Structure 1
């Protein structure tokens, strides 16, 4: 049921030290309603999701989906504590932390022995440990993890010059090239550890991030830069380039939603502001493809990863209301919250029933994504 509002909105959207005023004629629907009722609904949904993880999601060794090493367990810890900080002393969290501690490696990484996902596991583990750190108990482990992650970055240490399309990026390890998803996890970890835009590793990563944007003459000096030109982001320019959304007829790498939000967040962490043409181009793609029905360009694949990345990026950008291509304003926090609440399963979990690509058939992982996204949806 749609509710028409015959008023003109004047919105102030702030990005990292810059305020952008946007005027839009309202024509939204009831999903954009905000206020106490929404907060209550979010809390109820979050509690059901946490109860699922606590009662049905954890194995005897403290892990959540232990075959992924530290990754899913770390995401679940982060998701619970971001919504319920007082749970730090609960046995479920303490057992999960012991499991993560069992993945501390001699090189400073936090991953399963023999893992091909060392950057990913360590990066998300850093987020969980930062949130769990009490009385400095993880200070040493976090410093070592930071050195490990920076040591894995593709730069001069790997023989990469600044002109190399891999330069500055981070990758899983199973492929011999970095990608934007892993680079955004890497930047999340550095940000969580308190590193600002002046950090050398963050500025190196920015060089890689900009080469994943479909925008010419603004940092993307690859052959793909101007072939699509929509301001969105793709997976990687390295080792010949790849987009999970495929290639365009012109031979370009198609942009898609989840990577564009990852790119936006990464640029913000690297100090770019709302008046920067690269940020403006990313926001234009986001306005033109705004959707909570699918991961733009990817359909149902990676939908919950998309929801989490969408929420984290728009929150980092300070965006409260976003106009779509037709000029309709969207109060994204309320719309996303109601979307996730409607998709929650009877047992309190979430799962991608339409696509299990990228492990989205795993209820623990998808529930973690959903709880993390909901944490950004509470009305400010």
Structure 2
């Protein structure tokens, strides 16, 4: 049978269309198999007395294969499957050849008991979303266990028996931010009922029985928690609290002119009396986050005022390139530089930029509606990218007498995650490489979590040695990082 030429062409094209997907699939490179996951960080170890080298465990993820096998910090691994591990590279190379579900034997020395022992464990899969979820669930369970019968959480400065509005507001902001917050409905609802009863004379929320009531922080955190948890149910309360925060801004209505350095900010303490005013970027960032959560319009006249205030806290000038002192970063406040002073070549002094206020500053600029391409936003992002680290709060040249670089750590993690999540980019450009910041932060926090679920800072300067405070801040960091995780 003879087919017309046109029909033959159509038949040939149809056959090619069927074959092309198969051909393209066969040409694709298969993904390399995932190696097994141990769930511990480590470094090299040397025992000069016995001339032995091994790998010392630094941190263990509590729900990882290492955690389930009861591997502990300071344990020293000498062998894996009878192969010596005198250096971390040997252990890394070994693990890269393994697969999830594979059983391995470890010979380790435990300095605490001075025992040499063999242990067997089954390697897992390094699934970052699952790791983050497990870390969140463990921490949330622990945090809820610390809730007092009246619904509040213990004060971070006082005895564990007294509930306090500031700590409660922070814990509620953390729990309501979680991807699975509805699971904790009973605890959140109970906490909100306690918190909303803590009205001060000004009508804001705060620690009614303390000299320092922390009204601004508490009210801002309460708005954030209410919006995250159930905006419709609490809409009237949200609007009322937003109005109180707007009225608390230091502006012309309170006798502050544009030439006052406090103009546009909010007071850490209560009221607007000049004798007890302390404004800083941290307070402003939480207020602005609350306004963003409550959908306060960007056309509101409060925003130009706060931008005026923020400009006094950022080391940047329009039209000038970034340098060693105009580096794009933020310091704590117009008259407060916890990281010290830098004397420029022209003889002028500048407060040094450092990590947590720069993160607070970046998110504040974005909450105010500035474009991601604005020179102020780009300046802050450049500083964060250049100084990215999770080992400390960056920007300090020396620890200093109060050691803020180690003492303001979990706050830095929370602020870093909020700032980068608000910017909306899953990576940072750091030393010529793309850094997946959320991946780094989640693994860093998970490996430092206790078996019970909490975190603790060994430094007490900013009260992060109090478990509720550190754990709530870590939970916020995990929640903000979760959408940006890349396996």
If the length of structure 2 is used for normalisation, what is the TM-score? Answer: 0.65
Q: Which of 444, 456, 461 is the matching residue for 1:357?
A: 461
Question: Paired residue for 2:365?
Answer: 267
Corresponding residue to 1:248 among 336, 342, 347: 342
Q: Does 1:45 align with 2:138?
A: no
Which residue, out of 206, 210, 233, partners 2:311? 210
Q: Aligned partners of 1:268 and 1:134: how far apart in 2? A: 22
What secondary structure sits across from 1:349 in the alignment? coil
Output the CA distance in 2 between the equivalents of 1:310 and 1:152: 26
C-alpha distance in 1 between matches for 2:350 and 2:365: 22
Structure 2 counterpart SS, 1:97: helix
Contact 1:38 1:334 in 2 (8 A): yes
1:154 alignment partner in structure 2 = 250
Structure 1: stretches of 5+ with no match in the other structure: 1-28, 30-34, 220-224
Q: Is 1:301 matched with 2:398?
A: no
Structure 1 residues 245 and 188, CA, compared in 2 at 3 Å: closer, same or farther?
same
1:196 counterpart = 2:297: yes
The DSSP-based 3-state class of the residue aligned with 2:481 is: coil
- Contact kept, 8 Å, 2:318 with 2:375, in 1: the verdict is no
* Correspondence for 1:111: 206
Which secondary structure does the structure 2 equivalent of 1:378 belong to? helix
Partner Cα distance (1:65, 1:81) in 2: 18
Pairwise CA distance, 1:88: 5.0
* Per-residue Cα deviation, 1:206-230 (whole angstroms, up to 9, x for no partner): 11112100113579xxxxx999211
| Moved beyond 6 Å, runs of 4+ | none
**1:225-240 mapped onto 2 (5 Å cutoff):** 228-237=325-334
Kindly indicate whether the alpha-carbon contact (under 8 Å) linking 1:227 and 1:252 is maintained by their aligned counterparts in 2: no
| 1:1-380 alignment runs, 5 A limit | 37-55=127-145, 57-66=146-155, 69-83=164-178, 84-90=180-186, 92-105=187-200, 107-113=202-208, 114-133=211-230, 135-136=232-233, 138-173=234-269, 175-217=276-318, 228-237=325-334, 241-250=335-344, 251-297=349-395, 298-324=404-430, 326-353=431-458, 355-380=459-484
Aligned partner of residue 435 in structure 2, secondary structure: strand
Relative CO higher for 1 or 2, CA cutoff 8 Å, sep ≥ 6? 1
Greater mean alpha carbon deviation, residues 367-376 or residues 241-250: 241-250
Distance 2:356 2:185 in 1: 34
TM normalised by structure 1 equals: 0.82
Deviation at residue 62 of structure 1 after TM alignment: 1.6
Equivalent-residue separation in structure 2 for 1:348 and 1:116 (angstroms): 29
Cα 1:152–1:261 change in 2 (3 A) is same
Name the SS of the counterpart of 1:86 in structure 2. Answer: helix
C-alpha displacement of 1:344:
0.5
Q: Is the 8 A contact 1:214 1:226 kept in 2?
A: no
Gaps of 5+ in 2: 1-91, 93-124, 158-163, 271-275, 396-403
Could you tell me whether the CA contact under 8 Å between 1:71 and 1:121 is conserved in 2?
A: yes
- Alpha-carbon contact 2:156-2:468 (below 8 Å) kept: no
In structure 2, the CA distance between the partners of 1:217 and 1:161, relative to structure 1 (3 Å rule), is farther
Query: Deviation string for 1:151-208 (max 9, x for gaps)?
Result: 1111002211122211101121164131111111111111111113222112211111
**In structure 1, C-alpha distance between the alignment counterparts of 2:217 and 2:394, rounded to whole Å:** 23
Over 3 Å counting, the alpha-carbon distance change for 1:67 and 1:331 in structure 2 is closer
Write the deviation string for residues 88-110 of structure 1: whole angstroms up to 9, x where unpaired: 532x2232112102213453311
Which has more radius of gyration? 2
C-alpha distance in structure 2 between counterparts of 1:151 and 1:379, whole Å: 35
Task: Give the superposition deviation at 1:274.
Answer: 2.2
- Give the whole-Å Cα distance in 1 for the aligned partners of 2:129 and 2:428: 20
The answer (yes or no) to whether the contact 1:154–1:178 under 8 Å persists in 2 is no
Partners of 1:94 and 1:141 lie apart in 2 by 14
Of Structure 1 and Structure 2, the greater helix share is in 1
Structure holding more strand per residue: 2
Q: Distance in 2 between matches of 1:358 and 1:216?
A: 31
Does the CA-based 8 Å contact 2:177-2:225 persist in structure 1?
no
Give the conservation status (yes or no) of the 8 Å contact 1:70–1:125: no
1:313-347 C-alpha deviation (Å, 9 max, x unpaired): 001001111111x2121001111000010110121
